Structure 1
């Protein structure tokens, strides 16, 4: 089963306002999953506590897992709760909150945490178009989000479970890029309400998420802007902001490669959700170079097992290219995805896919280095052998080598997707700089002599020809 292109051109008329009498909602914070629901209270004093799985993202100053919480002062990358740079290592389980029972959610979250993931793209509401179960937004076991379809009358069991799932993600070091309503759910189950009702819903979502430390806000989806829908999306975000919530916000648009290309959305977002199925280096670099300065995160490209450009299903080579092209073109991380974004039968057995394992190894290599100091190269470091293919339609049709280097020359990365010799201006690097070829399929590095001409080492462990060249004074791993 292949992932359909989730294209929706929404043409909505504003309807009469739904009654504004909202159900007062106070979120419980369940702590342990069962097959049918989350226990509503923490364990009694002295009771055994389920251990939190370790996260390769490390720990914050207070001992809790690091989370993606804000944008760095310089605007190029994200920071954790202590203000330290944090590489985004994402997945896209869009329909997790409606497709999974609590015990299944625990399997998914704990596995992804163990693999080093630290961010998830998730919809708060479900619809078959975003991987959900039914058009009314019900969970797999029939729990509806709203009473009588009124978005300001919440059905507490739905929101309690969603809260518990996001809270558990926080315990495991997983930040949620959360869509309160998206382009697939705004018509059903959301019901296209008035701007006032959208604002009230946003207030409720902001209150619901106030004690969740691991949320960044999203709008859109596979979305071509329509004024009436824009008005609702913005009203929801304004409602969230009215609760005092200032966490970063972005929008995913299908009409452009990142929100900064849309005059309406450009001034509204705090970071760019870069979205392309073409070779990703072009879109990421364009977003990086476009004012104002803000993170240009590759947040959706081809998912493992799918190919929305019409070619063969995405390979592990495609996934490696997406990650490393993104990093060397200015992205502060990336979001991986798989054909199990909608949790197809047997998804548990595919969590540890070869694609997920390979990108975890690549991310480990990048995260071990001061990646946040890197600036995309414009030919000053990589002076020959770059290749081309900027306008190719498929990731594998481009052979462009991309590079990034820190201003002081203390670190540089060069991603070479096919066999060749590249030439370098080694004068851009610090005195005594060293060189390592890293096999992106395994993460294993080999120290080599730094020269002006560097030839790729041959086939990598997967029998393919792509390699990552690490230069500078920092040992790999």
Structure 2
């Protein structure tokens, strides 16, 4: 069943005073369920972009991440309409037709209830190292930031600086800081801002204390070892002063693991493990990605494939992982889960458990299947109703009612299957509908 369009794509977001989540205007947590569409503005026509956005909105996504100056071509290669972003390659001379196309796509996304996680530029264009392109310097970065910030002041978006790169010298730090300063001046502080890094890294390592960095963004990247990189989401959650954290680039569905085309391709199981691991480790949302979709690759269009994509972006929109992210959204929306407070001591690694800030229940995840044993004595609930949620299908089964009393070793929930599964414990006195129900 498709999701109804969200009504809050243009509403202003803020960081909750707790530092744990992004808040809507009424104080409720904003549920960031993102998709990765780096080449959306550059490679797709208006009609193709509309098809992409309508599909992702129906699947339950709430945001798409896209780049104004894209990685694959950027300032030098025309978009699908034949337009370049700047006149004569000058970052201070925008070419209006190029930006009018982005205007239309952003507006269409907002109409469908999708925010845009907008990267002003890919990181290679502010890097000054030999492998960088040095397109921006500090002066042009600030001027461009102010210009694009002004242009999209009224749009429904969040700013994402960086672009798969990290600063390696004082000059690059200055460029990033100056672009952030320009954005703030241009959009008058309307939109939140973060920074997208290279793989196995995060914004907290470079800008955690920067006043412009509203929330931390990790790129846990395209490895599939657990817990491995995903423990770093919890580390960012625990960092002080507290700032919300999200994994803005986990492993993509159908990408060669470790970006090595000799290795297997990641599948929907890898997608689920990354998503649930991040959320139960305190992330305020999650971003999904598919290897063909981020680059909007399609055979027969003369596009150079990056790391051997297996299918066209149109086909890839309907891969299992995207559907399963919709199941995840239904699960989160059916309970006041967010923000989740991680309780790693409650479960046995590699299993995870967390409790909503309201202490209204427990959610636990077994990434490799098998039984879950939970120590719940510290939770102020007398009796639990237990539910098993299948993250592959979105189906729920009732598992009984249990007294929350101290037991040696904790509460045991047996399971023999090797597939991952989710356990939800509700307060039996509340009579909640099954997890995943959208009423």
Place the TM-score, normalised by the shorter chain, in its bin: 0.7 to 0.9
Between 67-76 and 310-319, the greater mean CA deviation after superposition: 67-76
Of residues 335, 344, 349 in structure 1, which corresponds to 2:297? Answer: 344
1:345-399 C-alpha deviation (Å, 9 max, x unpaired): 13112211111111211221122111124210031x33xxx13xxxxxxxxxxxx
Give the alignment's Cα RMSD to 1 decimal.
2.5
**Is the aligned partner of 1:306 residue 2:255?**
yes
- Normalised by the size of structure 1, how large is the TM-score? 0.77
Higher relative contact order structure (alpha carbons within 8 Å, sequence separation ≥ 6): 1
State the distance in 2 between where 1:193 and 1:110 align.
Answer: 34
Q: Secondary structure at the match of 2:372?
A: strand
Whether contact under 8 Å (2:167, 2:173) holds in the other structure is yes
**Is the aligned partner of 1:467 residue 2:414?**
no
Q: Secondary structure at the match of 2:91?
A: strand
Whether contact under 8 Å (2:41, 2:79) holds in the other structure is yes
Deviation of 1:118 after TM superposition, in Å, equals: 0.8
Q: Secondary structure at the match of 1:73?
A: coil
Alignment of 1:190-269 (within 5 A): 192-212=135-155, 214-226=156-168, 227-243=170-186, 244-254=188-198, 257-262=201-206, 268-269=212-213
Q: Which runs of 5+ in 2 are unaligned?
A: 299-311, 403-409
State the distance in 2 between where 1:469 and 1:78 align.
Answer: 25
Aligned length: 396
Alignment of 1:107-186 (within 5 A): 107-126=51-70, 130=71, 132-133=72-73, 136-186=76-126
* 1:316 to 1:68, Cα distance in 2 relative to 1, 3 A: farther
Alignment of 1:420-459 (within 5 A): 420-427=370-377, 428-451=379-402, 452-459=410-417
Of residues 271, 275, 289 in structure 2, which corresponds to 1:319? Answer: 271
Deviation of 1:319 after TM superposition, in Å, equals: 0.6
Alignment of 1:370-385 (within 5 A): 370-379=336-345, 381-382=346-347
State the distance in 2 between where 1:235 and 1:249 align.
Answer: 13
Whether contact under 8 Å (2:388, 2:423) holds in the other structure is yes
1:105-136 C-alpha deviation (Å, 9 max, x unpaired): 0000010001110111111112xxx2x34661
State the distance in 2 between where 1:409 and 1:204 align.
Answer: 45
Q: Secondary structure at the match of 1:468?
A: strand
Whether contact under 8 Å (1:183, 1:220) holds in the other structure is yes
1:307-349 C-alpha deviation (Å, 9 max, x unpaired): 4424411111111111111111101110000112101113112
Of residues 19, 23, 35 in structure 2, which corresponds to 1:75? Answer: 19
State the distance in 2 between where 1:264 and 1:324 align.
Answer: 24
State the distance in 1 between where 2:69 and 2:319 align.
Answer: 27
State the distance in 2 between where 1:426 and 1:265 align.
Answer: 35
Whether contact under 8 Å (1:259, 1:266) holds in the other structure is no
Q: Secondary structure at the match of 1:225?
A: coil
State the distance in 2 between where 1:423 and 1:54 align.
Answer: 35
Between 437-446 and 65-74, the greater mean CA deviation after superposition: 65-74
Match of 1:368 in 2: 334
Whether contact under 8 Å (2:199, 2:219) holds in the other structure is no
* 1:408 to 1:195, Cα distance in 2 relative to 1, 3 A: closer
1:445-466 C-alpha deviation (Å, 9 max, x unpaired): 111124553334444xxxx521
Match of 2:40 in 1: 96
- Normalised by the size of structure 2, how large is the TM-score? 0.83
Match of 1:284 in 2: 233
Match of 1:34 in 2: none
State the distance in 1 between where 2:209 and 2:172 align.
Answer: 12
1:80-113 C-alpha deviation (Å, 9 max, x unpaired): 3443212110111001001100000000001000
Whether contact under 8 Å (2:63, 2:117) holds in the other structure is yes
Match of 1:335 in 2: 287
Q: Which runs of 5+ in 1 are unaligned?
A: 1-52, 388-399
Q: Secondary structure at the match of 1:433?
A: strand
State the distance in 2 between where 1:435 and 1:66 align.
Answer: 37
* 1:361 to 1:263, Cα distance in 2 relative to 1, 3 A: closer
State the distance in 1 between where 2:141 and 2:74 align.
Answer: 22
